[in-house]
Amino acid sequence: MKPEILKISQISIDQSVVCILGSSHVPERLKLSKSETEYAEKRMKEKDEYVFINSYNKCTYLIRLKEGISQYKIREELRKTSYNLRKLIKDNSHPELVITSSDTYKGAVEDFAEGLVLSIYSFEKYKKKEEGKDKYPEKLLLDGDIDDSDIKWLVELTNAVYLVRNLINEPVNHLNATALAGEIKKAGDSAGFNVEILTKGKIEALKMGGLLAVNRGSVDPPVFCILEWHPENCFNDRPIVLVGKGIVYDTGGLNIKTGEFMSGMNGDMAGAATVTGVLYTAARTGIPLHIIGLVPSTDNRPGGNAYTQGDIITMYNELTVEIGNTDAEGRLILADAISYASKYSPELIIDIATLTGSAARTFGNQAIAVMTNADRKYIDLLEECGNDVYERIAELPFWEEYAESLKSDIADLNNIGAREGGAIIAGKFLERFAESPLIHLDIAGTEMLKKDDYYRTKNGNGSGLRLLSTFLKKIAANYLEKK
């Protein structure tokens, strides 16, 4: 269960406290004894990651910030420390835990709280409840000079991460495309953004050939969700459109995945979940931007009248595509959505998807692969935001030569190009369908993790949600500065 996050004005003598320190000096307001203070200061001078003091009526956790590293890495180290402390905190079963700081940067309290909240997430919906186990705090009480808007942002952003992780971790027998659309609608109703769900008949009328082709092997119908946050006070004249890949399960189709490659494929809709989470955050925090989310969704299976290698399909924008591999399905459904985005004349299109093994092999779980034809101001800001939340981006070249291998003898395009440069080639495929500037984010390496990467928990972790939410928040702030 996610703890409640509240702001307090003072600390009582018997409350358990996490205190983040910018020096080895222990503040008197923690009310430690002389011997406890001397012990703590000695340990911190020896550069221990944290010091734990178990007093008679409370517990105190002291964290000394690292020195000699950049500010964004200091913030990340603090989030990682919260992960390292989570088990000790759980073992002590605090109903409430105060988080405070002394002699450090503004925002340290929120950074630790964010890391802790994300560290203690677990997907236990289908596990039998066990009574009497040690528990995480039900409330995190934040002490210090913290703006109410920063508390609101922390609460809603972490709520969105939990929402996204829950969606990704659901098995497909509980979350097919139709059920995913239902969950997106629930999120919209809860947060205050609009959701329109297009069912198969409407998708056929729109002639979304990519989405319909991938769906042909499934017994479940496809859906296409249109999410919209359009506040009265929005700054942008043209919307920013987010597109998320919604493959609720990917077998590879007739080019079926082998060995362990099918494991975790219920998470192939992570892009769709992330777009939902970004719209949730924007609506709940009131980001003054017009934002549209597009989510094409289906599973990719080899049953029924499954599409085959060698098929020719006609996409929403009337380009024809030769199917070179049915396991390159994500780009087909994204392409329909990206071309559909043109009806909104967007300022920018951002798609996010677990798209290629190539991206995962190139960057592992350390960076989101980025390809773009957009103005550098967007990429510079995205990189800045990636450092802030430590969802770092790594840009790949987007040269026209990479599109050469997508040529087909019998259609406008092939859906699979050369093996070499596969992540870039997939991005170039999508670019053919974008009539506005495009940023393509491939989260194949950062999303589904086999083990915890600190507070980025194993399986679905919500990669890209904090990045894009922060990016949109800063775009709005930039608009405000120019007014």
pLDDT tens-digit map of 158-214: 999 999 999 999 999 999 999 999 999 999 999 999 999 999 999 999 999 999 999
Mean pLDDT of the chain: 96
Average pLDDT of the segment spanning 453-477: 97
**Residue recorded with tokens 């170039």:** 428
Those residues whose C-beta lies under 8 Å from the C-beta of residue 46, and which sit 6 or more positions away, are none
Percent of the chain exceeding pLDDT 90 equals 92
Average pLDDT of the segment spanning 223-252: 97
pLDDT of residue 44: 87
| pTM, to two decimals | 0.97
**Nearest in space to 111 (alpha carbons), one of 64, 79, 86, 143:** 79
Paired tokens of 140: 């995190």
Yes or no: say if 374 and 437 are a contact pair by the CB < 8 Å rule.
Answer: yes
What letter would DSSP give residue 12? -
pLDDT tens-digit map of 249-276: 999 999 999 988 999 999 999 999 999 9
pLDDT tens-digit map of 304-333: 999 999 999 999 999 999 999 999 999 999
pLDDT tens-digit map of 91-140: 999 999 999 999 999 999 999 999 999 999 999 899 887 766 669 999 99
CA atoms within 13 A on the CB side of 91: 8
| Domains present along the chain, CATH in parentheses | 4-144 (3.40.220.10), 155-482 (3.40.630.10)
Distance of alpha carbon 100 from the chain centroid: 27
pLDDT tens-digit map of 325-371: 999 999 999 999 999 999 999 999 999 999 999 999 999 999 999 99
> Which residues are tagged catalytic?
257, 331
- Name the more confident of 482 and 230: 230
Residue 372 and residue 367: Cα distance in Å, rounded? Answer: 16
Q: Is 384 helix (H, G, I), strand (E, B) or coil?
A: helix
Q: Is 291 helix (H, G, I), strand (E, B) or coil?
A: strand
